[in-house]
Amino acid sequence: MSRQAMEITHRSVSSPGGRIHIAEQGTGPLVLLVHGFPETWYSWRHQMPVLAAAGYRAVALDVRGYGRSSAPAATDAYRMLDLVEDNVAVVRALGEETAVVVGHDWGATIAATSALLRPEVFRAVGLLSVPYTPPGGPRPSDVFAGMGGDEEFYVSYFQEPGRAEAEIEPDVRGWLAGFYAALSADTMPPPGAPDPHFAGRGGTLRDRFPAGRLPAWLGERDLDVYAGEFERTGVTGALNRYRNMDRDWEDLAAFDGAPVTQPSLFVGGALDASTTWLAGAIEAYPATLPGLVSCHILDGCGHWVQEERPAEVNRLLTDWLATLPA
């Protein structure tokens, strides 16, 4: 493989929302990498060179509203249907007919929904941290409003435009450092401490973030990269994903209970609330992910699995990809 093919290159491609910025490395079958909140394409920095060396075309995008991708002004421009079509647009712009899609956090939900709605494009799906739960069930806002008793769940906290922005944007770097630390295995609050996924009434999420120490996976330069992007763009585009969950519930009603049938992979952290709260979703995989090839819960790992445990995740990804039909 040429040196050029092994370097990360950057460009933007057209999408229904304007443009999607992509980082690309390697040649071969396309693997589309979709980040979560609050990150960017950079969250896949450890995976891209390994996938390229293994013979894949690794493409990590900035989700609509993040980084160098377009950030439409309308709140409802961030509904799941639009993000799925952005993924399809990237595949087509790259001259490909199909892709494997891999996502982390919100990216996992975007990846799973992409596979559900456009199975002719997305031939396999890898999910990191957030398990697949089929569309349907109670209205999301009702579920989240009922969580926490006198405390407020972070998804509910994010709903009011401007509220979370007022907490985050005066000190983006400090807020991100605390948020990343709160969900990392080596820096998360100890059992019994106030849960950073909730805000006390009248308080902020940041009140419960650990302070003074970065998690081992996050260097000062890495934090600078993330903070620099959100200082430039603001966080409204990222937060608008949360503000469309009821719209998604309505938009996807026809897929109530539908399984994702393509070959799939799940990797979660044993210390991640996404894994523990949604343990029932993982147990339901024989019905909801009938094409599941392998499922892995990493001991001693928090939420940021591909950054906390890059070597292990890289091995699991490449082993899984090797099982897929060419």
Q: Please give the chain's pLDDT, 326 residues, in tens.
A: 444 457 999 999 999 999 999 999 999 999 999 999 999 999 999 999 999 999 999 999 999 999 999 999 999 999 999 999 999 999 999 999 999 999 999 999 999 999 999 999 999 999 999 999 999 999 999 999 989 888 999 999 999 999 999 999 999 999 999 999 999 999 999 999 999 999 998 899 999 999 889 999 999 999 999 999 999 999 999 999 999 999 999 999 999 999 999 999 999 999 999 999 999 999 999 999 999 999 999 999 999 999 999 999 999 999 999 999 97
CA dihedral for 305, 307, 309, 311, sign (positive or negative): positive
* 24 DSSP β-pair partners: 9, 59
Q: ∠121-42-69 over CA atoms, to 5°?
A: 60
Q: Locate tokens 């005066």: which residue?
A: 170
- Output the domain CATH number for residue 266: 3.40.50.1820
All residues at 6 or more sequence positions from 29 whose CB lies less than 8 Å from its CB, including other chains:
55, 56, 57, 99, 100, 321, 326
Q: What is the DSSP letter of 31?
A: E
All residues at 6 or more sequence positions from 142 whose CB lies less than 8 Å from its CB, including other chains:
none
Q: What is the pLDDT of residue 3?
A: 42
Total number of residues shown for the chain: 326
Domain span including residue 213 = 4-323
Alpha helices in 169-235 (DSSP H): 172-182, 220-233
Q: What is the enclosing helix (H) or strand (E) of 322? A: helix 310-323
Q: What is the pLDDT of residue 149?
A: 85
Rounded Cα–Cα distance for residues 32 and 9 (Å)? 15
Q: What is the DSSP letter of 242?
A: G
Which residues carry out catalysis?
105, 303
Q: What distance, in Å, lies between the first and last C-alpha atoms of the chain?
A: 19
Are 178 and 171 in contact, with CB atoms under 8 Å apart?
Answer: no
Q: What is the pLDDT of residue 5?
A: 52
Rounded Cα–Cα distance for residues 317 and 63 (Å)? 21
Q: ∠132-245-273 over CA atoms, to 5°?
A: 50
Q: What is the pLDDT of residue 167?
A: 97
Q: Tokens standing for 224? A: 């600078």
Tell me the pTM: 0.97
Q: What is the pLDDT of residue 211?
A: 87
Q: What is the pLDDT of residue 148?
A: 80
* 292 DSSP β-pair partners: 264
Q: What is the pLDDT of residue 19?
A: 97
What total of structural domains would you count in the chain? 1
